[in-house]
Amino acid sequence: MNESMPYVKILVDNRAAPGLVAEHGFAAWIEAGGKKILFDCGQGAALRPNSERTACDIVHADLWVLSHGHYDHTGASDYVLERNPEIQVYAHHGIFRERYSLHPEQPPKEISMPSEQRLVVANLPDSQLHWVREPLQVAEGVWASGPIPRNHPLEDTGGPFYLDSEGHDADAIPDDQALWIETPRGLLVICGCCHSGLINTLDYARRMSGFDKVWGIIGGFHLKHASEERLTATAAALKEIAPDFITPCHCTGDAAIEYLKETLSIPVESGFAGYVVD
């Protein structure tokens, strides 16, 4: 566990503080366990200006955790590795898969990690690229979850995701992972898109860490297409877990955020690029 509290700043999000760039994507800067950690890198255009303007220069990051292989979390990989060629990378080996989202009446949308971004990461030496298969401590008291068991009957990946453009092969997004930080006030859980489901993710983080108390939750919760039943179950789980705060952002969905604000008595505040927790 860490004796001191972590510092977290959202670097890329769908919303941004004045002077920062917004884009559909997510990235966060984390200082914990004596390390500077980059979590994801957004879609591509926002990371550079936002990191420069918030004095979170990527050159100072010790390590980089990728939550999963969607374009909106991996799109600035070339910039990260250009700025910091020595950075240690932690991800699941499934991040390079080709994948699509399929909406009725619309052409298939490829949402894979862009090929040029895949190349720069795949070409890293083994000593720098760490595949996460199970919870892995990346800094003192900071854990990359690895694959998260999908136990809850109402939770799914949150979208029409497939491994092929025809929609034959559903994509379970097995590479989805979260980060948890053990703090004196409980766990701080940081999600990318939370395709594993928020309840599944929190259950796993608590079970594997041995921490019952969750201090806070930050990230995309991917509840945009969630059924009313699922939203109700999510709110009930959050009431029971009783974190001190929740910062939903990125892909959570405005209606889901409003619902959580109305239903929960704890502070629920939408995140944005420039938002800080410390």
Contacting positions for Zn ion (CB under 5 A): 70, 72, 193, 251
- For the bound state, the minimum distance from the C-beta of residue 267 to Zn ion, rounded and expressed in Å, comes to 23
Q: How far is the CB of 159 from Zn ion (least distance, A)?
A: 8
39-59 b/e with 16+ CB inside 10 Å = b? bbbbbbbbbbbbbeebebebe
Q: How far apart are CA 73 and CA 270, in angstroms?
A: 19
**Closer to Zn ion at the Cβ: 23 or 31?**
23
Q: How far is the CB of 85 from Zn ion (least distance, A)?
A: 26
Q: How far is the CB of 157 from Zn ion (least distance, A)?
A: 8
For Zn ion, the closer CB: 175 or 182: 175
Q: What share of the chain is helix, strand, coil (3-state, %, to 5)?
A: 25, 25, 50
Which residue number, 62 or 98, has a Cβ lying nearer to Zn ion?
A: 98
Q: Which residues pair with 161 in a beta bridge?
A: 101
At 249, which helix (H) or strand (E)?
strand 245-249
Which DSSP letter does residue 15 get? Answer: S
| Residue 256 and residue 227 in contact, taking contact as beta carbons nearer than 8 Å | no
Q: Which is nearer to Zn ion, 27 or 37 (CB)?
A: 27
For residues 80 and 251, which CB has a smaller minimum distance to Zn ion in the complex? Answer: 251
Q: How far is the CB of 255 from Zn ion (least distance, A)?
A: 17
